[in-house]
Structure 1
Amino acid sequence: MWLALGCALPLFASDDIGLIRIGDPWRFSLDPPPPGWQQPDFDDSAWPEAPAAFTFAYSGYEATSLASVNRPYGAAFFRRRFAVPDPAAVEWLVLRLDWSGGGIVWLNGVELLRENLPGAPGEPVDPGLQPPLRNRTWPRLIDLSAWRDLLRPEGNCLAIEWHEHSTGGYSSALAMELLANFTRGPALQAAAPGRQTILWQTPVPTEGWVEYGPGEALVHVTPPTPPGTNHQLTLTNLGPGRTYSYRVVARSPDGRMAASKPRSFRVFNTSGPVRFAVMGDVGTGRPAQYTLAGRLREANPDLVLMVGDLVYPEFSRNRADFRWFSVYAEHLRTTPYFVVAGNHDVTYASDHSFLDHFAMPENGPILRERQAAHQGPEGHWAYSFDCGDVHFVGLYVPILLPDYDLPEDSDQIAWLEQDLAASNRPWKVVFLHHPLFSSGPHGNDDYNGNGLTDTVELGGRLLPLFQAHGVQFVFAGHDHIYERHTPWQGIQTIVTGAGGGSLYPIYRLEPTSLRAFSHSHVTLVTIDGPEAELVALDLEGRELDHAWYRREPPPADTLWTAARHTPADPTGLPPDGDGNRLGQTFDLVGKPIPGVTGRFAHPGRLRVEADATWVHLGLEGMALPEGDDLILFVGVQGRPGAQSLAGLGNGLPPPDDEGANALDLLGNLRFADGFEPVIACVLGDEFADDTDRFFTRPRRVVMGAAGEPNARLEQPAAMGQGVFRLEAGFPEVT
């Protein structure tokens, strides 16, 4: 019996470094296979397939659980085929391995390793044998270079016989990957206009350098790094916006050399459009993490922001590769990642090595890991950088425990204010681990015990500062959900913390919550000119959310032409005539007219279509606080209309009102010269099927799926809904 946790397997192909990566699918059997099963040509097509790593427990920290109540723990047998495009280029062959119990490893039928099991090499082991108790320890690098001559271009097979015996839980694991020449990287980090930093690790001490150049020509060579296994070089004087190719070269003291295959990257531009991805709370080793890593590669962003909790259950140098660097390895070779620390990266960390693994910009304040207590490793935990039209700021707010709190008089807040004030970029994006609003469980935390929820306290410290300096977006994690809120003073806050970790429930809805989902996802943002577009994708690549942010209106003299089109009836229309449903789509094709994001709402985008009889209006991407109305005023060229709303309603409260109170309350509204609307559309929630001048708009609505009713949770004063003429009494348009 076997159980694969999560979703569909990722399709990872062998590359020149990761011959077998963590997360790759393996064939396996829980029944003893026939002799010769370790050979490359053995037919394993009838064996099930699942991604590594494996466990015999329900720990929730590996990709595949083999747990079963129907059989005792015994041997499990694994096979993974792989290709080596150029075996002669493999100078160092390394197995990264972490296993409990005992086991045997074969390469192309030759035994390479036997641990915690009896017998000489080649001697079989009873499949029912239970080895001495041994829990997993830490991943180890095992040098297999003496057997690299066994490699061939196609049809290689790594086989493993695993006899599990542990105390269970997190202690049960079989995690493995086979690497050629490099044990980490090359990885792009600390990018900036004209600069690119590259990190890599080698299995033995070497010196290293980077060969690079514009286009495909590797015409430049850096000075070598000092001998060692950890390497870092920064390329400078690069042409902003240009594409460069590069490879890293390693040379050992005895003259052995290896090089990575060339990859390319695009240098950050000094201005212009930017496309970036945001994820958080990723490193559990579950299938969702590998699947979303594939979504990142498919999206091809200019850069990736990681908002903390990179490794579970806690960050350590021994877990960094299996949980993070190896998962995103191929994408890291072409795309810079920027990370900030979460609570699992520092608060619970066993070796406090987080900063040792990354090369982030060093323009932030020198902070201690426990910043409020001024204790622990120091470094640039917070920083900023520019890409195109965007100024990005990464903050260090892992959790509001007393030692990790962010006091108002902290060095970080003083630096933050100076940094934001000094930037002249038109867009400003902040990313941090702890959210400012959240409908997840952490939205109720009070870790510093002062009687204020941590989100309220942190928002009170940071949001006024963000408002004063023109920040438009704030991305956070911590809660393993996706949530987008209505703007606060023009600031769009988003929780994007389900990048591979276990999902959290929607605990209770924030008053500002617009979209809240307990789904694994990645968030993609494209900023181009005055507009930003945001899309959240789930594991299957389907849209969870799609929204826009507009800094300024289009030029006043812009002429927008209606599309000549008759929209079809909307799909997914519920049979009860009671409002829209999630997943409902509308056949509108006109060029969208963008609305400007306001202090606490966003009108979305308007599409205008016309046929011989009707004018069809459609709004998408509205962001309204619950119970609020959006009023669309429409004028007709050549037809006089209203210059103001004064005197059109009777100004009386219920029960003496005439209805359409959303318009009656705007009696002091005057329109700009040259604009005289003739009708007003009062819109705003999921119950807007018909015109109803005495409609009572709910303060909170929970949208139902297809076939399920929408739920109204509160009933305030009536405002009306629908289309009304701007004449005395606001007559309805029929």
Structure 2
Amino acid sequence: MKRLLLLLFISSYFLSFSQTVLFSNGSSWKYNDSGLDLGTTWKESNFNDGTWLNGSSELGYGDGDEQTIVSYGSNSNNKHITTYFRKTFFISNPSQFQEILGSIRRDDGAVVYVNGLEVFRTNMPQGTISFGTMASSTISFGGENTFHSFAFSPAVLVNGNNTIAVEIHQDEASSSDISFNMSLSGSVNPQVIQVTREAYLNSGTPNSMIVRWQTNVACDTKVRYGLTPTNLNLSATVIPYSTEHAVTITGLQPATKYYYSIGTSGAELIPASNDQYFKTSPIVGDSKPFRFWAIGDAGMSDGNQRAVRDGFLMYNENEHIDGWIMLGDNAYGNGISDGNQNCYQTALFDQMYASMISKTVCWPALGNHDYNNHIPFSPSPAYFDIFNLPTNGEAGGVSSGTEKYYSYNYGNAHFIVLDSYDESRSANGAMATWLISDLQQTTAEWIVAYWHHPPYTKGSHDSDNPNFLDGECVEIRENIIPILEQYGVDLVLNGHSHSYERSFLIDSHYGSSGTLSQTMIKDGGSGGSNDDCPYQKETTYSKSHKGTIYAVVGSSGKLSSVASSWPHPVTSYADHDNMGSMLITFHDNRLDADFVTTTGSILDHFSIIKNAGKTQTITACQNEAVSLVPSFPGKVNWFPNNLLADSISVTVNFSTMYLASDTNNCIIDTFFVELDNSINCTAGLGSATEENLSVWISSWEDGNYLPVRWSGFKKEEVTIEVFSILGDKVFSENFPNQKDNLALLQANKLLRGTYIIRLSDGDRSKNVKFLR
């Protein structure tokens, strides 16, 4: 026992003397409390600080424990945001140390520089720091006395005199206090580095990716990557030591899979594997298929959250997911400390999503619990420290200047992320102004917008309630939804209510649930469930007010009771008995969405197809083979071939017609294949023309009229004919082909059943099937 105690004493002795104190807490510092912007040169070694004041630490004001009181200026309600500190220390041989260890007390935020190089920042936002930059959050209570450890490489130091410079920032001009104290030492024993937060991916683009992870001690950062797990021939390094590692890798190829490892410049901490990779985005406008996963209110850190995860993984069968949408309330705590680092550690990391987090790019939104419901003295949401999100249009779209709301592109889709809790929801607020600018610039085929508070819900929250916890829903519906619909947003995703609620294809419903009218329902069907037709949108000439689907996917972590008026009248499908998540698949002009339960089954499905049901005329030579491809992706029924295929090849011996329809006969493409018998006909040079004829039937105005709209016809008049499924003509009338192409057909004489409506202008015609 005595020998063990002696060994413990000797071990402690050597550990205690393995560090050399370079300067200690309470040491003397030069400081500048003038309230003037000193630019960037003040942190350099050769800066002349001869006129600065000098004092012992702790330096600051407002707490009563300061050794030196610094000035905040003449106005207690408009104090200096930034105060500067400098110190020179001598070291004869920096190479004797493995690393340099620091400890700083700061109130509120700080940035530390050594010989002009930033080595640490704490409670400060990402990006460039200026004189007026506010600290990320208020430091209060026990946080005011906390020392924060950091480390950096001895390579930053020089033999002889070195300069350390620190800027302390307030979180607001009326803050009551600031504090600053610091120590620095050199360590000859390297610390054991462990990965405490697995690799995850942010802000992917066609040519870049951000890889992040966390370690228990500060160290430098290196990602090794390549096209195979065994040949990581490329690398990206960040020299400043940190426990929060973020590497922006550039110069990548679009739509390419790269395998990677994470570690330091000297060692790999997590090696590459078949499941540790990232895939860059395709070039903007690429219409190849891609898949996004959406979860809402997931962050419970419990078995329910894992059940939703497992159900999706079972359904997905290890297929790659191109993007991961988080709809807010990503990390719950105990109700009074939500959205902090510990909450995220268990709700997002710590093996919760281990099978996908290192290979799927995260695109999160903020919820009220991520802000800790604005409980007084709450720290800044950990969200801003955990994620690196595009603020300057790096991933497409217009620069927002904030991670609260932003946009990005993927393939032929544009995604918009809003902050429905902490930002103004007014129609002329900063977020709405940015939103309009962003929507005006996008030319994407698909536009998806998401945030936390839903405009239409009767779940655990009520979008008719203008009061506490639900008032955001009302303001979003009244002020933001009109903007989105004006610019043709196709799909809106939300959380907040712990249920699943999915609307019809609707437009212009900005009031309470009682104000909904049938004219606001563009398509009252299910959109593809139960053998129903998909939602169809004609956006060739305009995207404005063509209908939007709204989905509440707030049951990815728990279920809650619903309002007495459940479900909302805009709802096509609603469920509050099953937890789940949503998989969204984009392919050219088709969007498919599936709500996946904890058992891996599909509870709800809908599709949106744009600009389909075309008429094409193809001219070809004798015996020439031509390919017929429908105007929408997926397998279709071909007539007269009686084939089910996504395309067919036909040999032209005579002029004929082919029809291609979806499996429910909702959309029909017509192909006129015309034989060119001329002596000069050359195979492969035949022409194909597409007649952009579109006809769509709105929901019933009332029991007596059927609204029919059309576009693409050229003559002054169109003929509308209605046929029964047996071919009997039951209606025929001519209508003027004007700018507002709308006809109200007298439908009260139609019996219930299936009909074909034909529109023609004498030269061209189009048939559409509808159900009475």
The aligned residue for residue 487 of structure 2 is: 469
Aligned pairs (5 A) from 1:8-407: 181-216=194-229, 217-250=231-264, 258-262=269-273, 263-270=276-283, 271-273=286-288, 274-297=290-313, 298=316, 300-313=320-333, 314-326=338-350, 327-348=352-373, 350-352=378-380, 353-363=382-392, 379-398=402-421, 404-407=423-426
Is residue 593 of structure 1 aligned with residue 662 of structure 2? yes
**Contact between 2:594 and 2:603, CA under 8 Å: does it hold in 1?**
yes
How big is the shift at 1:592? 5.0
Is residue 431 of structure 1 aligned with residue 450 of structure 2? yes
How big is the shift at 1:296? 4.5
Letter matched to residue 195 of structure 1? S
User: 1:259 and 1:286 mapped to 2: Cα distance?
Assistant: 26
**Contact between 1:506 and 1:517, CA under 8 Å: does it hold in 2?**
no
Deviations 1:258-287 (A, max 9, x none): 333332221100122321111110011232
User: 2:424 and 2:464 mapped to 1: Cα distance?
Assistant: 13
Is residue 546 of structure 1 aligned with residue 605 of structure 2? yes
How big is the shift at 1:561? 2.5
Deviations 1:423-459 (A, max 9, x none): 1211111111111211313224545579x96534312
Deviations 1:187-209 (A, max 9, x none): 01111121110110011222120
Aligned residue for 1:205, secondary structure, equals strand
The aligned residue for residue 567 of structure 2 is: 509
Aligned residue for 1:503, secondary structure, equals coil
**Contact between 1:479 and 1:504, CA under 8 Å: does it hold in 2?**
no
How big is the shift at 1:643? 6.8
Indicate how the Cα distance of structure 1 residues 623 and 231 shifts in structure 2: closer, same or farther if over 3 A, else same: farther
Q: Give the counterpart of 1:415 among 434, 437, 444.
A: 434
How big is the shift at 1:659? 4.6
Aligned pairs (5 A) from 1:508-527: 508-518=566-576, 519-527=578-586
Letter matched to residue 351 of structure 1? P
**Contact between 1:188 and 1:335, CA under 8 Å: does it hold in 2?**
yes
Is residue 531 of structure 1 aligned with residue 590 of structure 2? yes
Indicate how the Cα distance of structure 1 residues 512 and 361 shifts in structure 2: closer, same or farther if over 3 A, else same: same
**Contact between 2:464 and 2:474, CA under 8 Å: does it hold in 1?**
no
Indicate how the Cα distance of structure 1 residues 502 and 286 shifts in structure 2: closer, same or farther if over 3 A, else same: farther
**TM-score (norm. length: structure 1):** 0.52
Indicate how the Cα distance of structure 1 residues 380 and 359 shifts in structure 2: closer, same or farther if over 3 A, else same: same
Aligned residue for 2:203, secondary structure, equals strand
Letter matched to residue 301 of structure 2? G
**Contact between 1:278 and 1:306, CA under 8 Å: does it hold in 2?**
yes
Letter matched to residue 204 of structure 1? V
How big is the shift at 1:644? 1.6
Indicate how the Cα distance of structure 1 residues 439 and 417 shifts in structure 2: closer, same or farther if over 3 A, else same: same
Letter matched to residue 381 of structure 1? K
Aligned residue for 1:532, secondary structure, equals strand
Residue segments in structure 1 that go unaligned for 5+ positions in a row: 1-178, 366-370, 372-377, 566-589, 596-602, 609-621, 684-734
Deviations 1:601-640 (A, max 9, x none): xx966899xxxxxxxxxxxxx9968988999987699978
**Contact between 1:645 and 1:670, CA under 8 Å: does it hold in 2?**
no
User: 1:591 and 1:245 mapped to 2: Cα distance?
Assistant: 42
How big is the shift at 1:494? 1.0
How big is the shift at 1:474? 0.9
**Contact between 1:630 and 1:682, CA under 8 Å: does it hold in 2?**
no
| Structure 1 vs Structure 2 CA RMSD | 4.4
Tell me how many residue pairs correspond in the alignment: 435
User: 2:613 and 2:369 mapped to 1: Cα distance?
Assistant: 44
Letter matched to residue 393 of structure 1? I
Aligned residue for 1:457, secondary structure, equals helix
**Contact between 1:363 and 1:380, CA under 8 Å: does it hold in 2?**
no
Aligned residue for 1:341, secondary structure, equals coil
The aligned residue for residue 96 of structure 2 is: none
How big is the shift at 1:222? 1.1
User: 2:726 and 2:549 mapped to 1: Cα distance?
Assistant: 39
User: 2:667 and 2:436 mapped to 1: Cα distance?
Assistant: 33
The aligned residue for residue 133 of structure 2 is: none
Aligned residue for 2:305, secondary structure, equals helix
Indicate how the Cα distance of structure 1 residues 627 and 188 shifts in structure 2: closer, same or farther if over 3 A, else same: farther
The aligned residue for residue 28 of structure 1 is: none
User: 2:486 and 2:287 mapped to 1: Cα distance?
Assistant: 24
Aligned pairs (5 A) from 1:657-668: 659-660=749-750
**Contact between 1:212 and 1:245, CA under 8 Å: does it hold in 2?**
yes
Is residue 495 of structure 1 aligned with residue 508 of structure 2? no
User: 2:555 and 2:354 mapped to 1: Cα distance?
Assistant: 20
User: 2:605 and 2:480 mapped to 1: Cα distance?
Assistant: 26
Indicate how the Cα distance of structure 1 residues 449 and 278 shifts in structure 2: closer, same or farther if over 3 A, else same: closer
User: 2:357 and 2:698 mapped to 1: Cα distance?
Assistant: 35
Aligned residue for 1:329, secondary structure, equals coil
Tell which structure's C-alpha radius of gyration is larger.
2
User: 2:244 and 2:222 mapped to 1: Cα distance?
Assistant: 12
User: 1:678 and 1:492 mapped to 2: Cα distance?
Assistant: 26
Deviations 1:124-153 (A, max 9, x none): xxxxxxxxxxxxxxxxxxxxxxxxxxxxxx
User: 2:204 and 2:700 mapped to 1: Cα distance?
Assistant: 38
Indicate how the Cα distance of structure 1 residues 435 and 672 shifts in structure 2: closer, same or farther if over 3 A, else same: farther
User: 1:679 and 1:458 mapped to 2: Cα distance?
Assistant: 36
Deviations 1:93-128 (A, max 9, x none): xxxxxxxxxxxxxxxxxxxxxxxxxxxxxxxxxxxx
Residue segments in structure 2 that go unaligned for 5+ positions in a row: 1-191, 395-399, 508-544, 617-627, 631-636, 643-658, 671-696, 709-720, 736-743
Identity across matched positions, percent: 23
Aligned residue for 2:615, secondary structure, equals coil
Letter matched to residue 332 of structure 1? I
Deviations 1:209-251 (A, max 9, x none): 0001224431111123411211000111110011111111136
Deviations 1:487-517 (A, max 9, x none): 2231111111111123343642222110001
Deviations 1:157-192 (A, max 9, x none): xxxxxxxxxxxxxxxxxxxxxx99311121011111
**Contact between 1:289 and 1:500, CA under 8 Å: does it hold in 2?**
yes
User: 2:203 and 2:466 mapped to 1: Cα distance?
Assistant: 32
